[in-house]
Amino acid sequence: MFDVIVRGGTVVDGTGAPGFAGDVAVKDGRIAAVGQISGEARTVVDARGRVVAPGFIDPHTHFDVQLLWDGAARPALEHGVTCVVPGNCSLSLAPLKADDRKAVVGMFQQIEEMPPEAFTTAFEWTWEDFAGYRAAIEKGLSINVAPLVGHSVIRLWVMGPASQERAAFPDEIAAMQALLRECLKAGAVGLSTSFVDLDAHGKPVPSRYAQFDELDALCAVLGEFGRMLQVVPEFYATDITIARIDQLAELSIRHGIPTTFSPLFDTLAVPDNAERAIARVEEQFARGARVWPQMQTRPIDISFSLLRPSLFFARLPRWVRILRQPLEQRVAALTDPDTRAKMLADLGPDGGEAMFGRLVARGGDACPPEYVGKTLSEIARLRGQPAGLALIKLSLENGLDVAFLSASQGHQSTDRIGPMLAHPLVHIGASDGGAHLASFSTYGDTGYLFSEFVRKAGAMSLEKAVAKITSETADIWGLKDRGRLAPGQCADIVVFDADAIDRGDELPAFDMPGDGMRYVRAARGVDTVLVNGEVAYAQGAYTASRSGVVCV
Task: Please identify, using beta-carbon distances, which residue of 41 and 89 lies nearer to Zn ion.
Answer: 89
Q: How far apart are CA 450 and CA 79, in angstroms?
A: 12
Task: Please identify, using beta-carbon distances, which residue of 209 and 519 lies nearer to another protein.
Answer: 209
- Kindly state the number of chain residues that form the binding site for Zn ion, as judged by CB under 5 A: 3
- The nearest distance, CB 62 to Zn ion, in angstroms, is 6
Q: How far apart are CA 305 and CA 316, in angstroms?
A: 15
Q: Which of 204, 223, 399, 410 binds another protein (CB under 8 A)?
A: 204
Task: Please identify, using beta-carbon distances, which residue of 88 and 284 lies nearer to Zn ion.
Answer: 88
> Do 121 and 514 touch, CB atoms closer than 8 A?
yes
Q: How far apart are CA 521 and CA 370, in angstroms?
A: 25
Task: Please identify, using beta-carbon distances, which residue of 23 and 58 lies nearer to Zn ion.
Answer: 58
92 contacts Zn ion (rule: CB under 5 A): no
Stretch that binds Zn ion, among 51-59, 94-102, 322-330, 427-435 (CB under 5 A): 427-435
Angle at 175 between CA 174 and CA 178, to 5 degrees: 90
What does 350 bind: another protein, Zn ion, none (CB cut-off 5 to 8 Å by kind)?
none
Strand 302-304 versus strand 404-406 pairing type = antiparallel
String of contacts with another protein for each residue 50-89, x by CB under 8 A = ----------------------------------------
Instruction: Look at residue 9 and give its three-state secondary structure.
Output: strand
Q: Which of 21, 121, 212, 373 binds another protein (CB under 8 A)?
A: 212
Task: Tell me the β-bridge partners of 495.
Answer: 52, 528
Stretch that binds another protein, among 22-30, 280-288, 370-378, 462-470 (CB under 8 A): 280-288
> Do 112 and 62 touch, CB atoms closer than 8 A?
yes
- The nearest distance, CB 102 to another protein, in angstroms, is 23
109 contacts Zn ion (rule: CB under 5 A): no
Instruction: Look at residue 224 and give its three-state secondary structure.
Output: helix
Q: How far apart are CA 393 and CA 334, in angstroms?
A: 8
Exposed e or buried b per residue across 6-33, where buried means at least 16 C-beta atoms within 10 angstroms of its C-beta: bbbbbbbbbbbeebeebbbbbbebbbbb
Q: Which of 76, 105, 118, 242 binds another protein (CB under 8 A)?
A: 242
Instruction: Look at residue 69 and give its three-state secondary structure.
Output: coil
Q: Which of 182, 283, 353, 497 binds another protein (CB under 8 A)?
A: 283
Among 549, 494, 538, which Cα is nearest to 67's? Answer: 549
Q: Which DSSP string do the residues of 267-278 spell out, in sequence order?
A: BTTBTTHHHHHH
Q: Which DSSP string do the residues of 120-176 spell out, in sequence order?
A: HTSS----SSHHHHHHHHHTT-SSEE--EEEHHHHHHHHHGGGGGTSPPPHHHHHHH
- The nearest distance, CB 373 to another protein, in angstroms, is 36
Q: Which of 66, 92, 267, 284 binds another protein (CB under 8 A)?
A: 284
Q: How far apart are CA 357 and CA 360, in angstroms?
A: 8
Q: Which of 122, 135, 237, 320 binds another protein (CB under 8 A)?
A: 237
172 contacts another protein (rule: CB under 8 A): no
227 contacts another protein (rule: CB under 8 A): no
152 contacts Zn ion (rule: CB under 5 A): no
Task: Tell me the β-bridge partners of 231.
Answer: 193, 261
Among 63, 120, 72, which Cα is nearest to 92's? Answer: 63
What does 88 bind: Zn ion, another protein, none (CB cut-off 5 to 8 Å by kind)?
Zn ion
Q: How far apart are CA 78 and CA 95, in angstroms?
A: 30
What does 116 bind: another protein, Zn ion, none (CB cut-off 5 to 8 Å by kind)?
none
Q: How far apart are CA 305 and CA 203, in angstroms?
A: 25
Q: How far apart are CA 343 and CA 519, in angstroms?
A: 28
Q: Which of 40, 99, 117, 234 binds another protein (CB under 8 A)?
A: 234
- The nearest distance, CB 96 to another protein, in angstroms, is 21
Q: Which of residues 369-408 bind Zn ion (CB under 5 A)?
A: none
> Do 510 and 516 touch, CB atoms closer than 8 A?
yes
Stretch that binds another protein, among 73-81, 233-241, 326-334, 348-356 (CB under 8 A): 233-241
- The nearest distance, CB 514 to Zn ion, in angstroms, is 22
Q: Which of 10, 66, 82, 88 binds Zn ion (CB under 5 A)?
A: 88
89 contacts Zn ion (rule: CB under 5 A): yes
48 contacts another protein (rule: CB under 8 A): no
Instruction: Look at residue 184 and give its three-state secondary structure.
Output: helix
End-to-end CA distance of the chain: 29
Q: Which of residues 338-367 bind another protein (CB under 8 A)?
A: none
Query: Which residue type occupies 253?
Result: I
Task: Please identify, using beta-carbon distances, which residue of 6 and 210 lies nearer to another protein.
Answer: 210
171 contacts another protein (rule: CB under 8 A): no
Q: How far apart are CA 510 and CA 546, in angstroms?
A: 24
- The nearest distance, CB 191 to another protein, in angstroms, is 14
- The nearest distance, CB 91 to Zn ion, in angstroms, is 8
Stretch that binds another protein, among 16-24, 81-89, 128-136, 283-291 (CB under 8 A): 283-291
Q: Which of 56, 119, 209, 404 binds another protein (CB under 8 A)?
A: 209
382 contacts another protein (rule: CB under 8 A): no
Task: Please identify, using beta-carbon distances, which residue of 210 and 552 lies nearer to another protein.
Answer: 210
Positions that interact with Zn ion (CB under 5 A): 88-89, 432
Positions that interact with another protein (CB under 8 A): 166-167, 195, 202, 204, 207-212, 214-215, 234, 237, 239-240, 242-244, 246, 276, 279-280, 283-284, 286-287
